[in-house]
Amino acid sequence: MNAAAAFDFSEQVVLVTGAGAGIGQGIAAAFHAARARVALGDLREAPLKRAAAALRDRVFAQTVDVRDEGSVTAFVAAAEKELGPVAIVVANAGIYPNTPVLEMDVAEWDRVMETNARGVFLTCRAAARSMVARGAPGKIITISSGAYASGRPGAAHYCASKAAVVMFTKVLAMELASARINVNCIAPGFVRVDSEVSPLTEEYVSTLTRGIPLGRAGTPADIADAALFLASPYADYVTGEVLGVNGGAMAGRAHLPLSTAAAQKKESTR
């Protein structure tokens, strides 16, 4: 397969939620640079408008609340009317507030589950219904997190929601396989985005970054690269998978010292 052709998304419509900022904005920009027509959806109008204006052409933007069935259906319909049938979907919108379980109120639990889990379900369902009705193949990508497999304090709702995304992805992949629609999940590690919606403390960020074997935080472009791969013909035989993009952070306990005195001595004389 010709690599340049495989990553040329001309004439393809790519729909991305949470595209006004952070990882979603980076993914939308990467597909746009690869010549796709891109539909950007986000809850916040001002960042959404800025993200769309930065791309200038081959772009459609509409505010959407991924928690709301009618809003998601209207977004997908409007995107298709404006740009054409959606071929690639990235269900990215998500939030990550932090509260220990004993202090967490029901509203916060619901907000996280509704945005991160229900939002992915609604986005994928709306797009997949359109693909299936047309008999068209497609690529669906969900955004989970390393948090689906590795917990951290204050993130019970977030971790649960991201585990839900993984299992949703696997089941949807089976259900849509005969329709030639691939469904895969990206599980990013820490990606520096300076989120306005879910701000992180510097202490958390520096502690987290120290535990990444490749020695740096991820960027939205790192995640976009994985999305381009999963949307490309190179991933035609990949479905129901979770692709970790995390600088090695999920490989194990990289912060541990060597385990024997002899090994430590050898290392110190190197």
- Residues annotated as catalytic (active site), given as ranges: 158
Binding positions for ligand NAD, 193-212, rule CB under 6 A: 193, 195, 197-198
Backbone φ and ψ of 182, nearest 5°: -90, 140
Of the two residues 20 and 247, which places its CB atom closer to ligand NAD in the complex?
A: 20
d(CA 31, CA 240): 22
Among 28, 29, 52, 93, binds ligand NAD (CB under 6 A): 93
Of the two residues 138 and 188, which places its CB atom closer to ligand NAD in the complex?
A: 188
Q: Which amino acid is at 62?
A: Q
d(CA 231, CA 127): 15
CA geometry: angle at 165 spanning 137 and 208, to 5°?
125
Backbone φ and ψ of 116, nearest 5°: -80, -35
d(CA 217, CA 211): 10
d(CA 14, CA 16): 7
Helices (H), 195-254: 202-210, 220-231
d(CA 198, CA 196): 6
Classify 122 as helix, strand or coil: helix
Among 34, 95, 141, 228, binds ligand NAD (CB under 6 A): 95
Among 2-10, 27-35, 91-99, 121-129, the segment contacting ligand NAD (CB under 6 A): 91-99
Shortest Cβ 37–ligand NAD spacing (Å): 20
Among 8-16, 17-25, 31-39, 172-180, the segment contacting ligand NAD (CB under 6 A): 17-25
Of the two residues 12 and 17, which places its CB atom closer to ligand NAD in the complex?
A: 17
d(CA 20, CA 48): 4
Among 12, 15, 20, 98, binds ligand NAD (CB under 6 A): 20
Shortest Cβ 92–ligand NAD spacing (Å): 5
Shortest Cβ 226–ligand NAD spacing (Å): 12
Q: Which residues, listed in sequence order, are joined to residue 183 by a DSSP beta bridge?
A: 140
Shortest Cβ 245–ligand NAD spacing (Å): 9
Please name the residues in contact with 231: beta carbons below 8 A apart, sequence gap of 6 or more. 9, 14, 31, 88, 139, 141
Of the two residues 78 and 237, which places its CB atom closer to ligand NAD in the complex?
A: 78
Binding positions for ligand NAD, 24-53, rule CB under 6 A: 24, 42-44, 47
Of the two residues 1 and 203, which places its CB atom closer to ligand NAD in the complex?
A: 203
d(CA 83, CA 92): 20
Residue 87 binds ligand NAD, judged by CB under 6 A: no
Binding region for ligand NAD (CB under 6 A): 17-18, 20-24, 42-44, 47, 64-67, 92-96, 115, 119, 143, 145, 188, 190-191, 193, 195, 197-198
